[in-house]
């Protein structure tokens, strides 16, 4: 008997016919295994499919006892089949019984077979089952046969993914592909969202598996590969790639993979075996993923992401780019799933349909998270490998309270969550009742609870949240959602609209805070090695005065006859604010000369975000009308710990004694100078940290609108004077082991304060 297969391309052609013929699912599977056995000259061909309960069930067999089909099953890791599933690697044995993992299943009658070749059935790197061929003789399967069986396994992967096999098991257990999956991450934005997965960077789903012309497909692959290689080389030559740093590392890795001979050869082999160029890319990527995902080394796993990105680029090159982010999902209730994303990218989605955001990376103060919070969308982050487990359109629940995500939830869980949503709505109603109550502590201290905003649509929440005004209007958000730089007239109209919406409530605009991670697609910025500490915010504005001047002009005209409060981000030295004041003064003179009505009053403030200002507080307070503490940036610079850095997200608490002592110094100075201070970082929106701020003496805070209700409820139950007696000594006591968090939670628990 010849051990030479007839050629996988013949088999693939045959399988294509079988897939297209109208068969019931079991019949189709039976024909497929018989055809594979015939083609590979094997006496046995069997398919094991992974069920949601972790068992690999024999779904079809040619050559084993038919009675064993849907009866025999193995656990993951059990026997040869279980070993293949766990390791996601092929096993090629000429004496199967001698392998230590061999386990004899008497009902199958397989004891007479010696040669064994099994390969995992993979899809996007996930194991969905195992495909096996066996022979009585002690033959050794050649590499080409292993490759052929792996290629064939792809067809079975697609068949499983169609859901067609879902109801075949008499036990009624669902398949692993549709298994519910709960993952724990960290809660980044409060709320609960139910919806369907929208992959931010959708995997290109390859549906065209079989090729007609090997040569044509090889040329398609080579052309696409050259285009990708060229695009990477062009990036390098553009001079935009820094000499060193993470960005360069990623691109270097891309370049290395793109030129990797082994990778190219394996893809061409897969084409020679009968796959289309795109299916070949997918097959080889499946193998890579399976191999690399088992490595515990985080560096290698990170490289896997790079490799995935590259394979995706290649796939897009081959099958076109029409896989737009939300194209695949029609209807509402979108939950965006991404490894990470920029704030601008989130704003590209229709916010009316957004129900949640799941990010594998991202930290509490990442801008994308802040924007999501402003939009009132629950966010859960730091969930490794979530993206590869999620399929476009899968039902999903995002629990931004507990920090967990449920993928493909069972019905009872969905019902439980629907209840939870109702409960939260009830609590929200309670907060709404507080809306018109004065923001006063239990011991009678008035506090100004303001909200942060950035888009006109946010201003509706001025009414619903109960905020007494806007403490921070991030003007850059409007710039980030525009395709082109907003013109003067457009800006003026926008600011007028914002002021109209605010009515007599105070409104504080912040001048453009771009640069760093806030990039405007139409404005060329530098590719900096350390963008957070780079040419951003006021630094960029002073160097590009035309941009700042046109914004100031738009604001002055929009605020004609009204109050204008304006603040400047990332001030580092007092002279910067003086220069802005000069620029404003000149603009006022010019506009007055042209006969334009000017604001009735104008107040200029500085954001305190850079620690250098802490040693210029006297000068600063004399130079400005008010100060706004941007605790997000101030914390990252004081702790030398990037606000978006996942590995440092929980290391340095904003409730640390050092940080709170510093905040106290600011408030003490402001009392001395009678300079009003507001704090507008994310810590103002968490009831427990807001408690600390009130005890330090802060009387004005600005937060995301959704936080106003909970903070007000806390405030109304809080005796600030009593808390001060506990907190202030604790802050000074360096020997005391109790953390500030413990002091606060103890106090809140004792006094029934909701936090
Ligand atoms: C801050 O840094 O605290 C702040 C409010 O500004 P942003 O988060 O927009 O940088
Ligand atoms: Mg800031």
Sign of CA dihedral 648, 650, 656, 661: positive
pLDDT at 330: 58
Q: Which of 372, 633, 643, 689 to mutate to test the pocket of ligand 1 (most atoms within 8 A of CB)?
A: 633
Judged against a pLDDT cut of 50, whether residue 65 lies above it is answered with yes
CA distance 44 to 58: 13
Give the phi and the psi of residue 738 in degrees, each rounded to 5: -60, 135
DSSP H/E element including 643: none
Per-chain mean pLDDT for the chain: 89
- Six-digit token string for 510: 């912040």
pLDDT computed for residue 4 by the predictor? 45
* Ligand closest to the CA atom of residue 510: 1
Contacts 24+ apart (CB under 8 A), 735-743: 739/653, 739/655, 740/653, 740/655, 740/656, 740/657, 740/660, 740/692, 741/653, 741/655, 741/688
Closest C-alpha to 127, from 72, 218, 55: 55
Q: Closest ligand 1 atom to the C-alpha of 569? A: 6
- Per-residue pLDDT at 2: 40
- Which of 232-241, 407-416, 525-534 has the highest average model confidence (pLDDT)? 407-416
Helical (H) or strand (E) element with 168? none
| Predicted local distance difference test score (pLDDT) of residue 44 | 97
* CB proximity list for 534: less than 8 A, separation 6 or greater: 515, 516, 526, 528
Cα distances (angstroms) measured from residue 467 to each of 89, 134, 422, 472, 641: 58, 72, 24, 12, 31
> Which residues are 134's β-sheet partners?
44, 116
Structure confidence at residue 238 (pLDDT):
59
Distance from Cα 630 to the centre of ligand 2, integer Å: 5
- Checking if the pLDDT of 252 tops 80, the result is no
Token pair in block for residue 82: 């279980």
Q: pLDDT-derived band of residue 1, with 50, 70 and 90 as boundaries?
A: very low
Q: What is the pLDDT of residue 233?
A: 77
Highest mean pLDDT among 66-75, 222-231, 233-242: 66-75
708 pLDDT band (50/70/90 cuts)?
A: very high
Share of the chain above pLDDT 90, in %: 57
Q: Model's pTM, two decimal places?
A: 0.71
Look at residue 322 in the predicted model and tell me its pLDDT: 47
pLDDT digits (tens, 9 = 90+) for 650-699: 899 999 999 999 999 999 999 999 999 999 999 999 999 999 999 999 99
Percent of the chain with pLDDT over 70: 93
Q: What is the C-alpha to C-alpha distance for residues 407 and 376, in angstroms, rounded to an integer?
A: 21
Cβ-based neighbour number of residue 168 at 10 Å: 17
Per-residue pLDDT, 295: 66
pLDDT of residue 341: 84
Longest dimension (CA), the chain: 101
Tell me the C-alpha to C-alpha distance, in Å, between residue 589 and each of 212, 554, 559, 597, 604.
Answer: 75, 14, 15, 11, 16
Q: pLDDT band at 442, cuts 50/70/90?
A: very high
Mutate to test the pocket of ligand 1, among 451, 474, 634 (most ligand atoms within 8 A of CB): 474
Rounded average pLDDT over 313-336: 70
pLDDT tens, residue by residue, 584-641: 999 999 999 999 999 999 999 999 999 999 999 999 999 999 999 999 999 999 999 9
351-385 residue pLDDT tens: 889 999 999 988 777 778 888 888 889 999 999 88
Distance (Å) from CA 636 to ligand 1 centroid? 10
Ligand 1 nearest-atom number relative to CA 365: 8
Q: Which two tokens stand for residue 304?
A: 């896997």
Averaged over 149-158, what is the pLDDT?
90
Name all residues whose Cβ lies below 6 A of ligand 1. 370, 472, 474, 513, 609, 630-633, 680-681
What's the confidence (pLDDT) of residue 449? 98
As a whole number, mean pLDDT of residues 287-305 equals 69
DSSP label at 686? S
Cα–Cα distance measured from residue 351 to residue 377, given in angstroms and rounded to the nearest whole number: 9
Kindly report the protein residue whose alpha carbon is nearest to atom 9 of ligand 1.
Answer: 474
pLDDT number for residue 359: 95
**What is the number of other CB atoms lying within 10 angstroms of the CB of residue 669?**
17
89-98, 516-525, 545-554: segment of lowest average pLDDT: 516-525
Residue 637 contacts residue 654 (beta carbons within 8 Å)? no
Whose CA is closest to atom 6 on ligand 1? Answer: 630
Q: Which is more confident, 240 or 7? A: 7
Q: Give the pLDDT mean for 66-83.
A: 95
**pLDDT tens, 130-139?**
999 999 998 8
Look at residue 451 in the predicted model and tell me its pLDDT: 96
Instruction: Indicate which atom in ligand 1 lies nearest the CA of residue 513.
Output: 9
Q: Classify burial at 330, counting beta carbons within 10 Å of its beta carbon; exposed 0-12, middle 13-18, buried 19 or more.
A: exposed
């Amino acid at each position: 008997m010849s051990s030479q297969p007839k050629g996988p391309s013949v088999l693939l052609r045959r399988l294509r016919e079988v897939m297209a013929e109208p068969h019931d699912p079991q019949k189709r599977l039976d024909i497929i295994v018989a055809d594979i056995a015939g083609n590979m000259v094997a006496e046995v061909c069997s398919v094991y499919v992974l069920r949601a309960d972790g068992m690999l069930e024999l779904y079809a067999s040619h050559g084993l006892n038919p009675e064993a089909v849907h009866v025999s099953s193995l656990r993951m890791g059990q026997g040869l089949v279980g070993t293949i599933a766990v390791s996601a690697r092929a096993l090629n044995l000429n004496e199967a019984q001698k392998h230590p993992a061999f386990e004899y299943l008497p009902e199958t009658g397989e004891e007479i077979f010696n040669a064994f070749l099994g390969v995992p059935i993979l899809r996007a790197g996930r194991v969905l089952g195992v495909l096996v061929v066996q022979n009585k003789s002690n033959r050794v399967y050649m590499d080409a046969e292993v490759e052929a069986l792996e290629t064939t396994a792809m067809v079975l992967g697609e068949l499983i993914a169609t859901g067609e096999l879902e109801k075949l098991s008499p036990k009624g257990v669902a398949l692993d592909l549709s298994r519910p999956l709960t993952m724990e991450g960290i809660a980044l934005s409060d709320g609960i969202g139910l919806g369907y997965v929208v992959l931010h960077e959708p995997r290109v789903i390859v549906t065209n598996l079989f090729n007609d012309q090997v040569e044509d497909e090889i040329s398609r692959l080579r052309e696409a590969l050259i285009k990708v290689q060229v695009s990477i080389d062009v990036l390098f030559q553009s001079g935009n790639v820094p000499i060193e740093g993470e960005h360069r590392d990623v691109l270097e890795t891309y370049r290395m993979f793109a030129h990797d001979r082994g990778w190219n050869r394996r893809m061409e082999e897969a084409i020679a075996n009968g796959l289309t160029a795109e299916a070949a890319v997918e097959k080889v990527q499946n193998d890579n993923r399976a191999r690399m995902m088992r490595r515990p080394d985080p560096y290698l796993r990170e490289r896997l992401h790079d490799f995935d990105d590259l394979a995706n680029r290649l796939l897009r090159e081959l099958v076109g780019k029409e896989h737009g982010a939300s194209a695949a999902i029609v209807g509402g209730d979108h939950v965006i799933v991404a490894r990470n994303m920029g704030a601008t990218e989130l704003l590209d989605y229709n916010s009316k349909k957004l129900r949640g955001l799941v990010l594998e990376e991202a930290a509490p103060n990442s801008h994308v998270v802040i924007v999501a919070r402003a939009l009132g969308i629950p966010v859960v982050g730091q969930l490794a490998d979530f993206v590869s487990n999620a399929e476009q359109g899968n039902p999903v629940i995002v629990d931004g309270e507990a920090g967990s995500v449920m993928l493909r939830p069972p019905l009872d869980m969905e019902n439980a969550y629907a209840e939870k949503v109702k409960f939260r709505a009830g609590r929200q109603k309670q907060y709404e009742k507080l809306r018109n109550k004065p923001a006063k502590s239990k011991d009678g201290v008035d506090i100004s609870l303001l909200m942060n905003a950035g888009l006109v649509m946010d201003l509706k929440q001025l009414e619903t949240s109960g905020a007494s005004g806007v403490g921070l209007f991030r003007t850059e958000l409007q710039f980030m959602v525009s395709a082109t730089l907003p013109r003067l007239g457009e800006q003026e109209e926008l600011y007028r609209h914002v002021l109209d919406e605010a009515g007599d409530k105070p409104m504080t605009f912040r001048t453009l805070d771009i640069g760093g991670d806030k990039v405007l697609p139409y404005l060329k910025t530098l590719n900096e090695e350390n963008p957070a500490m780079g040419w951003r915010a006021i630094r960029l504005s002073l160097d590009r005065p035309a941009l700042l001047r046109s914004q100031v002009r738009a604001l002055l005209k929009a605020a004609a006859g009204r109050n204008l409060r304006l603040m400047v981000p990332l001030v580092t030295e007092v002279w910067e604010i003086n220069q802005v004041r000069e620029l404003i003064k000149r603009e006022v003179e010019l506009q007055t000369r042209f006969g334009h009505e000017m604001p009735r009053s104008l107040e200029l403030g500085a954001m305190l975000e850079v620690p250098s200002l802490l040693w210029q507080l006297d000068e600063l307070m004399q130079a400005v009308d008010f100060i706004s503490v941007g605790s997000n940036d101030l914390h990252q610079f004081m702790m030398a710990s990037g606000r978006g850095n996942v590995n440092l997200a929980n290391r340095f608490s904003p409730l640390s004694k050092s940080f709170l002592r510093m905040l106290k110094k600011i408030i003490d100075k402001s009392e001395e100078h009678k300079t009003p201070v507001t704090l507008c970082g994310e810590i103002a929106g968490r009831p427990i940290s807001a408690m600390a701020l009130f005890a330090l003496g802060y009387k004005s805070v600005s937060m995301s609108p959704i936080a106003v209700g909970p903070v007000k409820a806390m405030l109304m139950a809080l005796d600030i004077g009593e808390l001060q007696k506990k907190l202030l000594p604790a802050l000074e006591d360096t020997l005391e082991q109790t953390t500030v968090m413990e002091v606060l939670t103890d106090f809140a628990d004792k006094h029934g304060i909701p936090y």
